[in-house]
Structure 1
Amino acid sequence: MEDDARSWWNAWAEQFQEAYGGGAIEVGIDWGPGAPKDDDMGLLGDLEGKKAIELGCGGAQFGIAIAERGVDVTGVDISAAQLSYARKHADERGQDITFVESSVTDMPMISDETYDLAFSAFAFQWVKDLQACFEEAYRVLKPGGKLVFSVDHPFYKIVDPETHAFKQSYFDDEPRRQYSETVDAEMVIYRRKIGETVNLLLEAGFHIEGVHEPGYDTPDDYVSEFGSFDPDLMATVPPTVIYSARKR
């Protein structure tokens, strides 16, 4: 539910930003664990003169990185706490970014056909109604506009990092729930099959340009800032999947 995501990120924002930013703003194009940095995959395309919206922007490290390349960026996030970091980070880097506090499933304050690009990194797994999210992304994109987003791979978290055996069925679509006493909130993550995500994109009207599962088969090739990701398992199962789609 949206309230779950809002409560979790408002509670976890400080700990998250400190853990993955070290208290200092580090911006960059980062699709997630195991994926090449700085859009080496070329998924964003030509950014010159573009208008872009980041869906689930968090602290806006990604959005600031492309704003510094001349993109007019809007950041949307459900968490007021995360957006406070985003505004602080943008100010520190001297970037004029518009930030909107909203669910990505319902953005009435955003006009139709406004953006050339919509993007999101490791945020949509917190979205319960992914169909509504895709429909909103489709609505705010200009004709021919592009949606690129990453989520954790549906295989990764169901494999035991020690034995590499499956801990649960791939077909089990129950959300993953984890309560944190530290922040007194519950994390709820929705795991969706690859086919389910593709079909939801198609139903929203998108043309699928690619489904990418980046990775390497050697553990030493992985450097992950995320403590829950194990190099040995990452070399066996991709931790990140990236989707690229275009508005017809």
Structure 2
Amino acid sequence: MSTDHIKRSIQAGWDEMAGNYQAETHISLDDVHYAPLCPGERELRILGDVSGKAVLEVACGAAQNSIALAKMGAHCVGLDISSRQLVVARKLVEQEGVDVGLLNADGETLHMFRDGAFDVVISCFGWEFIQDLETCFRECHRVLAKDGLLIVGTVHPMSAFEWDADGRFLMVNDYFRPPYEVWQELKGDSARQGLTFFRTVEEMFATLVSAGFHVEGIWEPYPYNIEEMTDEEKRAIPYGGPFWESQYERLSKVPFSIVYKARKSD
């Protein structure tokens, strides 16, 4: 598939899935989420103080992280390729009474922003849908101010692999060449395939460094012990819901996500 075809398919897929995804997944409007059933920014402190900072959220979805950051005092802009995700985002922004700019745009190129426009660029679960990651990281580097932060939250390469029938062992046949996840997002004659790109830790680290970043930290968030939590406590988890709760045993054995904190180094 060509790059343009992949982008169109991913856009169509998220337009198709947006309603169900937002309805079935609990995503906090008060804390930045990094991983399913895991602590968010208020506990992990990956970003630190964002008060007064200009923040760009790439592949923002319904902009829950931007809304949470705005409540923490940041000046936020979110962009997403899916117009239907942004419909939900606009409703949430109005509901929460915060000021978040929203753009319907491809996250691979950030040509609409001037050099050094932002103090922070963040995305959680957006990078795996971007094919040309090096170009995207170079654009993030360009739009960041001196010493600006890039927060890359993405699917862990180990989450590319399936479990055995008993759910006891992860069947990793080739870590160095993780498979693409091919997903069907439309039905009937208009069906097209989208892709999720899994990348090894080395590939992600090397791409960040090549784009001009210094990696300051890497996190593999570990889930809360939901078996000892009340329903009210579960609802307070930044990213969760019934589906993720059903995956708890697996999430407690192998990380679903990985977070890189990188600083603009030149």
- The question of a shared fold, defined as TM-score above 0.5 by the shorter chain, is answered with yes
Q: 2:101 aligns with which of 71, 84, 98?
A: 98
Q: 2:84 aligns with which of 81, 85, 93?
A: 81
Sort the Cα spacing of 1:127 and 1:226 in 2 relative to 1 into closer, same or farther, 3 A.
farther
Match for residue 209 of structure 2? 202
* Partner-residue secondary structure (3-state), 1:57: coil
1:189 maps onto 2:205 in alignment: no
State the Cα deviation string for residues 104-144 of structure 1 (Å, max 9, x = none): 11121111101111111111111111111111111110010
Q: 1:112 aligns with which of 115, 118, 129?
A: 115
Sort the Cα spacing of 1:166 and 1:189 in 2 relative to 1 into closer, same or farther, 3 A.
same
Q: How many residues align?
A: 246
Distance apart, 1:154 and its partner CA: 0.7
Distance 2:97 2:259 in 1: 29
Amino acid in the other structure paired with 2:200 = K
Instruction: Show structure 1 runs of 5+ residues with no match.
Output: none
Match for residue 3 of structure 1? 8
Alpha carbon RMSD of aligned pairs, Å?
2.4
1:16 maps onto 2:21 in alignment: yes
Amino acid in the other structure paired with 1:8 = G
User: Structure 1 stretches (4+) deviating beyond 6 angstroms?
Assistant: none
Whether the 8 Å CA contact 1:34–1:214 is kept in 2: the answer is: no
Q: 1:236 aligns with which of 232, 237, 253?
A: 253
1:104-143 alignment, distance < 5 Å: 104-143=107-146
Match for residue 32 of structure 1? 35
Match for residue 179 of structure 1? 184
Whether the 8 Å CA contact 1:214–1:241 is kept in 2: the answer is: yes
Normalized against structure 2, the TM-score is what? 0.84
Higher relative contact order (CA 8 A, sep 6+): 2
Instruction: Show structure 2 runs of 5+ residues with no match.
Output: 1-5, 235-239
Distance 2:62 2:88 in 1: 5
Distance 1:51 1:241 in 2: 24
Identical aligned pairs, as a percentage? 27
Amino acid in the other structure paired with 1:238 = P
Greater helix content? 2
Distance 2:125 2:16 in 1: 18
Distance apart, 1:79 and its partner CA: 0.9
Sort the Cα spacing of 1:142 and 1:235 in 2 relative to 1 into closer, same or farther, 3 A.
same
Sort the Cα spacing of 1:110 and 1:11 in 2 relative to 1 into closer, same or farther, 3 A.
same
Match for residue 243 of structure 2? 227
Distance 1:166 1:221 in 2: 29
Distance 1:221 1:112 in 2: 48
Q: Structure 1 residues 147-156 or 30-39, which shifts more?
A: 30-39
State the Cα deviation string for residues 9-42 of structure 1 (Å, max 9, x = none): 11111111111259xx855311111431243111
